[in-house]
């Protein structure tokens, strides 16, 4: 769906509107891009930002295996219900003890969330295993157990 520069391909540009016309919601995930020069991993996050730059995206949901963003990598205590510049600066997620993630993990998702917010998207980090939360977020509700980054916040 992405070209080598990280832009949405012509196929992707025509496929996504077709999904919406048929009342389907695109779900992005990573892949491997192979060219004559080698291979590289394309993260679902890269697909997400390419879609947001190409289309009028108002909401992005990161479905994870935890309830949201925690204040540190221990994943203890309460999740942050909202993110802003000061809370992002104090987060210690880059050294998370969780399993290895070649796409940059939560730290990369937080950087992406800032860019998405500046593009006008509401960004949610929620537990995708809690289907009722995911469903409510997909239906446009905002008061759910999740971490939310408001749209239009300048970082």
Domain ranges of the chain: 1-56, 58-155
CATH annotation of 58-155: 3.40.1160.10
DSSP state of 144: S
How many angstroms separate the CA atoms of 1 and 26, rounded?
Answer: 12
Backbone angles phi, psi at 39, to 5 degrees: -135, 155
What pLDDT, in 10s, does the model give residues 9-24? 788 788 888 988 998 8
SS3 assignment, position 51: helix
CA dihedral 114, 110, 130, 51 (to 10 degrees): 50
What pLDDT, in 10s, does the model give residues 96-115? 445 556 566 788 888 889 89
pLDDT band at 25 (very low <50, low <70, confident <90, very high): confident
- The pTM assigned to this predicted structure is 0.80
- Phi-psi region for residue 6, left (φ > 0), alpha (ψ -120 to 50) or beta? left
Side-chain half-sphere CA neighbours of 145 within 13 A: 13
User: What mean pLDDT, rounded, does the chain reach?
Assistant: 82
């Amino acid at each position: 769906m992405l070209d080598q520069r990280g832009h949405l391909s012509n196929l992707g540009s025509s496929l996504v509107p077709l999904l919406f016309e048929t009342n389907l919601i695109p779900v992005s995930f990573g892949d491997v891009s192979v060219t004559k020069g080698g291979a590289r991993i394309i993260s679902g996050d890269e697909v997400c930002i390419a879609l947001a730059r190409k289309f009028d995206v108002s909401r992005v949901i990161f479905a994870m295996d935890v309830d949201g963003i925690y204040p540190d990598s221990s994943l203890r205590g309460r999740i942050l219900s909202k993110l802003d510049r000061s809370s992002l600066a104090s987060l210690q997620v880059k050294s998370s003890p969780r399993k290895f993630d070649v796409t940059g993990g939560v730290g990369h998702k937080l950087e992406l969330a800032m860019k998405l917010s500046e593009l006008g998207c509401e960004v949610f980090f929620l537990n995708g295993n809690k289907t009722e939360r995911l469903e409510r977020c997909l239906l446009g509700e905002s008061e759910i157990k999740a971490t939310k980054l408001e749209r239009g916040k300048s970082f």
